[in-house]
């Protein structure tokens, strides 16, 4: 039996979709600048890419403040509890109709694999893109002497990592009890959670 609960707050939903939109647009404009295709004139692509980057920085700063003040940062604390079971579920058992070994809960929304992935995203990948992007833009103004081609190379690697994460994230979002269940939950905030079945009580003879 499933229980319907409010799982994602308004801010979480706004942050998720705004962040997703900004990252997608940054990837589109970034690969345009890289020469992968030609959608916008170079100057317009540069301007738009930079504006989107500043919007993402602002959104991220506000999200950090929200996580710290609400205590939601605890959701990302890594754990190895049932980590092996989760890896086996997504790589094998899910294709056999197996059950997710970690039950979702408002106070623990992420499984071990998600915790590690999102933590790396926030403390490694985001800072990599931020630092390399700012260095590429302002190294001369800051008086920093460095090889910009190396900075651009690292920034491009980060972009492909974001793209890979986005593809995997969308795929995993389809693995709910229906294909669109997780998408719907991130729009409405409401999630259907499987209720814990009470253990049968043993009678004393």
Contact present, 125 and 27 (Cβ < 8 Å): no
pLDDT digits (tens, 9 = 90+) for 122-147: 999 999 999 999 998 887 777 676 77
The verdict on residue 84 lying in a domain is yes
The verdict on residue 204 lying in a domain is no
Q: What is the pLDDT of residue 203?
A: 45
Average pLDDT over residues 63-74: 95
Distances in Å between the Cα of 13 and the Cα atoms of 19, 23, 121, 136, 140 are: 10, 15, 18, 32, 38
The verdict on residue 111 lying in a domain is yes
The verdict on residue 32 lying in a domain is yes
Question: What is the span of the domain harbouring residue 127?
Answer: 2-194
The verdict on residue 76 lying in a domain is yes
pLDDT digits (tens, 9 = 90+) for 84-116: 999 999 889 888 888 888 888 888 899 999 999
Q: What is the pLDDT of residue 137?
A: 86
pTM greater than 0.75 (yes/no): yes
Q: What is the pLDDT of residue 167?
A: 95
Cα–Cα distance for residue pair 189/20, rounded to 1 Å: 17
Instruction: Tell me how many domains the chain contains.
Output: 1
Q: From 74, 106, 104, 69, select the one nearest 86 (Cα to Cα).
A: 104
The verdict on residue 47 lying in a domain is yes
Domain containing residue 22: CATH number: 1.20.950.20
Contacts of 198 by beta carbon, 8 Å cutoff, 6+ apart: none
């Amino acid at each position: 039996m499933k229980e319907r609960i409010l799982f994602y707050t308004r801010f979480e939903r706004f942050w998720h979709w705004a962040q997703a939109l900004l990252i997608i647009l940054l990837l589109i404009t970034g690969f345009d600048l890289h020469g992968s295709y030609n959608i916008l004139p170079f100057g317009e692509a540069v301007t738009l890419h930079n504006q989107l980057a500043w919007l993402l920085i602002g959104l991220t700063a506000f999200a950090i403040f929200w996580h710290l003040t609400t205590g939601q940062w605890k959701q990302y604390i890594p754990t190895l509890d049932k980590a092996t079971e989760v890896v086996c579920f997504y790589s094998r058992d899910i294709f056999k109709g197996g059950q997710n070994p970690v039950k979702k809960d408002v106070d623990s929304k992420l499984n071990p694999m998600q915790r590690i992935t999102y933590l790396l995203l926030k403390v490694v990948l985001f800072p990599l893109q931020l630092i390399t992007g700012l260095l590429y833009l302002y190294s001369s103004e800051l008086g920093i002497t460095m090889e910009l081609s190396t900075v651009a190379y690292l920034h491009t690697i980060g972009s492909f990592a974001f793209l890979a994460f986005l593809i995997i994230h969308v795929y995993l979002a389809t693995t709910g009890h229906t294909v669109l269940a997780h998408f719907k939950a991130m729009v409405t905030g409401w999630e259907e959670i499987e209720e814990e079945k009470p253990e049968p009580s043993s009678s004393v003879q």
